[in-house]
Amino acid sequence: MKGYAAYAKVQPTKEGYRDLEYKVLGTVTGALIKANEQETELSDKFNAVLWNERVWHAFRCDLSSPDNQLPDELKASLISLAIWVSKETNRVMDHLADLDGLISINRQVMAGLAPKD
Protein backbone atom coordinates (compact mmCIF):
# COMPACT_ATOMS: atom_id res chain seq x y z
CA MET A 1 0.00 0.00 0.00
CA LYS A 2 2.94 2.32 0.51
CA GLY A 3 3.38 2.82 -3.27
CA TYR A 4 -0.32 3.54 -3.70
CA ALA A 5 -0.32 6.03 -0.82
CA ALA A 6 2.54 7.96 -2.44
CA TYR A 7 0.78 7.86 -5.81
CA ALA A 8 -2.55 8.92 -4.33
CA LYS A 9 -1.01 11.99 -2.68
CA VAL A 10 0.21 13.37 -5.99
CA GLN A 11 -2.14 16.14 -7.03
CA PRO A 12 -1.65 17.30 -10.59
CA THR A 13 -1.94 21.03 -11.02
CA LYS A 14 -2.44 21.94 -14.68
CA GLU A 15 -2.48 18.33 -15.81
CA GLY A 16 -5.15 15.69 -15.52
CA TYR A 17 -4.58 12.27 -14.03
CA ARG A 18 -4.28 10.81 -17.52
CA ASP A 19 -1.25 13.03 -18.21
CA LEU A 20 0.23 12.16 -14.82
CA GLU A 21 -0.19 8.43 -15.47
CA TYR A 22 1.43 8.86 -18.89
CA LYS A 23 4.44 10.60 -17.32
CA VAL A 24 4.79 8.05 -14.53
CA LEU A 25 4.68 5.18 -17.03
CA GLY A 26 7.15 7.02 -19.25
CA THR A 27 9.59 7.46 -16.39
CA VAL A 28 9.39 3.87 -15.17
CA THR A 29 9.56 2.54 -18.75
CA GLY A 30 12.72 4.57 -19.29
CA ALA A 31 14.18 2.90 -16.19
CA LEU A 32 13.21 -0.53 -17.55
CA ILE A 33 14.82 0.24 -20.91
CA LYS A 34 18.01 1.34 -19.18
CA ALA A 35 17.90 -1.74 -16.94
CA ASN A 36 17.58 -3.92 -20.04
CA GLU A 37 21.06 -2.93 -21.20
CA GLN A 38 23.65 -5.69 -20.86
CA GLU A 39 26.03 -3.76 -18.62
CA THR A 40 23.34 -2.95 -16.04
CA GLU A 41 23.93 -4.26 -12.52
CA LEU A 42 21.46 -6.93 -11.43
CA SER A 43 20.37 -4.81 -8.46
CA ASP A 44 19.54 -1.88 -10.78
CA LYS A 45 17.54 -4.21 -13.02
CA PHE A 46 15.58 -5.57 -10.07
CA ASN A 47 15.01 -2.06 -8.69
CA ALA A 48 13.49 -0.96 -12.01
CA VAL A 49 11.32 -4.06 -12.23
CA LEU A 50 10.06 -3.66 -8.67
CA TRP A 51 9.39 0.05 -9.22
CA ASN A 52 7.34 -0.85 -12.30
CA GLU A 53 5.38 -3.37 -10.24
CA ARG A 54 4.65 -0.71 -7.59
CA VAL A 55 3.33 1.63 -10.29
CA TRP A 56 1.05 -1.08 -11.63
CA HIS A 57 -0.05 -1.96 -8.11
CA ALA A 58 -1.06 1.68 -7.62
CA PHE A 59 -2.99 1.55 -10.90
CA ARG A 60 -4.69 -1.68 -9.79
CA CYS A 61 -5.72 -0.14 -6.46
CA ASP A 62 -7.12 2.91 -8.23
CA LEU A 63 -8.94 0.78 -10.80
CA SER A 64 -10.49 -1.30 -8.00
CA SER A 65 -11.84 1.77 -6.22
CA PRO A 66 -15.58 2.35 -6.44
CA ASP A 67 -14.75 6.00 -7.19
CA ASN A 68 -12.98 5.09 -10.42
CA GLN A 69 -15.25 6.17 -13.26
CA LEU A 70 -13.65 4.33 -16.17
CA PRO A 71 -15.95 1.93 -18.01
CA ASP A 72 -16.12 -1.46 -16.28
CA GLU A 73 -14.76 -3.34 -19.31
CA LEU A 74 -11.70 -1.05 -19.50
CA LYS A 75 -11.11 -1.33 -15.75
CA ALA A 76 -11.27 -5.13 -15.98
CA SER A 77 -8.80 -5.18 -18.87
CA LEU A 78 -6.35 -2.90 -17.06
CA ILE A 79 -6.66 -4.90 -13.83
CA SER A 80 -5.87 -8.03 -15.86
CA LEU A 81 -2.77 -6.28 -17.21
CA ALA A 82 -1.75 -5.30 -13.67
CA ILE A 83 -2.05 -8.94 -12.59
CA TRP A 84 0.02 -10.00 -15.60
CA VAL A 85 2.68 -7.40 -14.70
CA SER A 86 2.88 -8.85 -11.20
CA LYS A 87 3.30 -12.39 -12.54
CA GLU A 88 5.82 -11.26 -15.17
CA THR A 89 7.76 -9.39 -12.49
CA ASN A 90 8.12 -12.65 -10.59
CA ARG A 91 9.29 -14.39 -13.77
CA VAL A 92 11.92 -11.66 -14.34
CA MET A 93 13.07 -11.89 -10.72
CA ASP A 94 13.41 -15.67 -11.12
CA HIS A 95 15.42 -15.18 -14.36
CA LEU A 96 12.69 -16.85 -16.42
CA ALA A 97 11.86 -13.79 -18.53
CA ASP A 98 13.50 -10.65 -19.81
CA LEU A 99 12.18 -7.09 -19.59
CA ASP A 100 10.80 -6.91 -23.12
CA GLY A 101 7.26 -7.90 -22.16
CA LEU A 102 7.03 -5.32 -19.37
CA ILE A 103 8.44 -2.62 -21.62
CA SER A 104 6.01 -3.53 -24.40
CA ILE A 105 2.94 -3.44 -22.14
CA ASN A 106 3.96 -0.08 -20.71
CA ARG A 107 4.47 1.36 -24.18
CA GLN A 108 1.08 0.10 -25.34
CA VAL A 109 -0.70 1.63 -22.35
CA MET A 110 1.25 4.87 -22.83
CA ALA A 111 0.04 4.98 -26.43
CA GLY A 112 -3.52 4.86 -25.13
CA LEU A 113 -2.79 7.59 -22.58
CA ALA A 114 -0.82 9.83 -24.94
CA PRO A 115 -1.97 13.43 -24.98
CA LYS A 116 -4.21 14.11 -27.93
CA ASP A 117 -2.98 17.38 -29.43
- Tens digits of residue pLDDT in 70-94: 999 999 999 999 999 999 999 999 9
In a domain, 51, yes or no: yes
Query: What per-residue confidence (pLDDT) applies to 78?
Result: 95
Please state, in angstroms and rounded to a whole number, the distance separating the CA atoms of residues 79 and 34.
Answer: 26
Instruction: For residues 21-50, give the mean pLDDT.
Output: 95
- For 9, 23, 70, the CA distances from 88, given in Å and listed in that order, are 27, 22, 25
In a domain, 7, yes or no: no
In a domain, 80, yes or no: yes
Categorize the per-residue pLDDT at 114 as very low, low, confident or very high, splitting at 50, 70 and 90: confident
In a domain, 63, yes or no: yes
In a domain, 59, yes or no: yes
In a domain, 26, yes or no: yes
Number of domains the chain is built from: 1
Q: Show the domain range for 62.
A: 15-113
Pick the range with the lowest mean pLDDT from 24-28, 38-42, 112-116: 112-116
Q: Tell me which amino acid residue 11 is.
A: Q
Query: What per-residue confidence (pLDDT) applies to 18?
Result: 87
In a domain, 69, yes or no: yes
What is the per-residue burial (b if ≥16 Cβ within 10 Å, else e) of 99-109? beebbebbeeb
Categorize the per-residue pLDDT at 15 as very low, low, confident or very high, splitting at 50, 70 and 90: low
